[in-house]
């Protein structure tokens, strides 16, 4: 092979490598920042309050998943137990991050074993922005994730972590549950909140923390319901 042909081949290879590097850098630069993800999605996630005159109040988080005002959250926020029996709260309300007052929502259905509840905003004249839904079956260990929730009922905040195990069966409260294990900091009020991937897509909802053998809460590890499980339940016929 002549030197000119070899030079052309190496020249083409060099151009291909340069293009690949440019595309890689461009892809990195186009990935949204944590700040972008928070502010792009903050109006799709709400504080949730469940109340009853006899039992008091329960606080958590919910998120819109369609333009019709459908919300998803945890069943343990909209229910409570007395003497081992599950009861419903009497009223359910949500509050947007930029509002002071709560808005009424209706409980559509719930499943205690799955720990999923579906609600709908009562005022159908309100235009809502749903979160974009991801695919939890594609998750891998090490993926970056963000949790947005009503931490300690102080309002919506964000924490960042990674996926430890994409799919895990954990027995919690006597029920075996299919969950995502994340390296995340969550607290009371985060329940039902959004688990977002590095592109801001909804891939799960936060549900619980575990305890060690002494009964102490294990901090820094959060368990979330895969969004595919949530959407299957939402779409299932009653």
pLDDT in tens, 44-72: 999 999 999 989 999 999 999 999 999 99
Higher-confidence residue of 65 and 221: namely: 65
Q: Are 46 and 121 in contact (CB under 8 A)?
A: no
Residue 222 has pLDDT above 80, yes or no: yes
Q: Is the pLDDT of residue 32 over 60?
A: yes
Q: With cut-offs at 50, 70 and 90, classify the pLDDT of residue 21.
A: low
Instruction: State residue 219's pLDDT score.
Output: 82
Q: How confident is the model over 89-137, as pLDDT tens digits?
A: 999 999 999 999 999 999 999 999 999 999 999 888 889 999 999 999 9
**Backbone φ and ψ of 66, nearest 5°:** -155, 170
pLDDT tens track for 159-204: 999 999 999 998 888 888 999 999 998 888 999 999 999 999 999 9
Q: Is the pLDDT of residue 30 over 80?
A: no
Does 22 have pLDDT greater than 60?
no
Angle formed at CA 193 by CA 185 and CA 66, multiple of 5 degrees: 150
Q: For position 232, what pLDDT does the model report?
A: 97
Report the b/e string of 198-227 with b at 16+ CB within 10 A. Answer: bebbbbbbbbbbeeeeeeeeeeebbbbbbb
Cβ 150 vs Cβ 48: under 8 Å = yes
Place of tokens 């749903």: 130
Average pLDDT, the chain: 89
**Cα gap 84→86, rounded to integer Å:** 7
pLDDT score, position 10: 59
Confidence of residue 26 (pLDDT cuts 50, 70, 90): very low
What pLDDT was estimated at residue 216?
78
The pTM of this model reads 0.85
pLDDT digits (tens, 9 = 90+) for 178-187: 999 999 988 8
């Amino acid at each position: 092979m002549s030197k000119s042909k070899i030079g052309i081949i190496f020249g083409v290879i060099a151009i291909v490598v340069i293009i690949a590097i440019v595309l890689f850098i461009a892809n990195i630069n186009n990935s949204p920042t944590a700040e972008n993800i928070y502010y792009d999605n903050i109006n799709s996630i709400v504080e949730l309050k469940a109340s009853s005159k006899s039992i008091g109040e329960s606080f958590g988080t919910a998120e819109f998943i369609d333009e019709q005002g459908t919300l998803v959250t945890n069943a343990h926020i909209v229910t409570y137990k007395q003497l081992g029996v599950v009861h419903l709260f009497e009223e359910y309300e949500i509050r947007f991050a930029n509002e002071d007052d709560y808005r009424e929502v209706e409980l559509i259905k719930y499943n205690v074993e799955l720990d999923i509840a579906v609600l709908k905003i009562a005022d159908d004249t309100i235009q809502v922005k749903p979160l974009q839904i991801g695919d939890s079956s594609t998750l891998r260990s090490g993926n970056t994730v963000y949790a947005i929730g009503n931490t300690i009922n102080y309002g919506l905040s964000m924490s960042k972590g990674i996926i430890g195990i994409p799919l895990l069966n954990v027995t919690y409260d006597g029920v075996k549950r299919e969950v995502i294990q994340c390296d995340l900091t969550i607290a009371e009020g985060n329940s039902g909140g959004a688990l977002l991937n590095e592109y801001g897509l909804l891939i799960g909802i936060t549900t619980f923390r575990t305890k060690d053998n002494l009964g102490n809460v294990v901090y820094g590890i959060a368990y979330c319901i895969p969004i595919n499980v949530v959407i299957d339940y939402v779409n299932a016929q009653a």
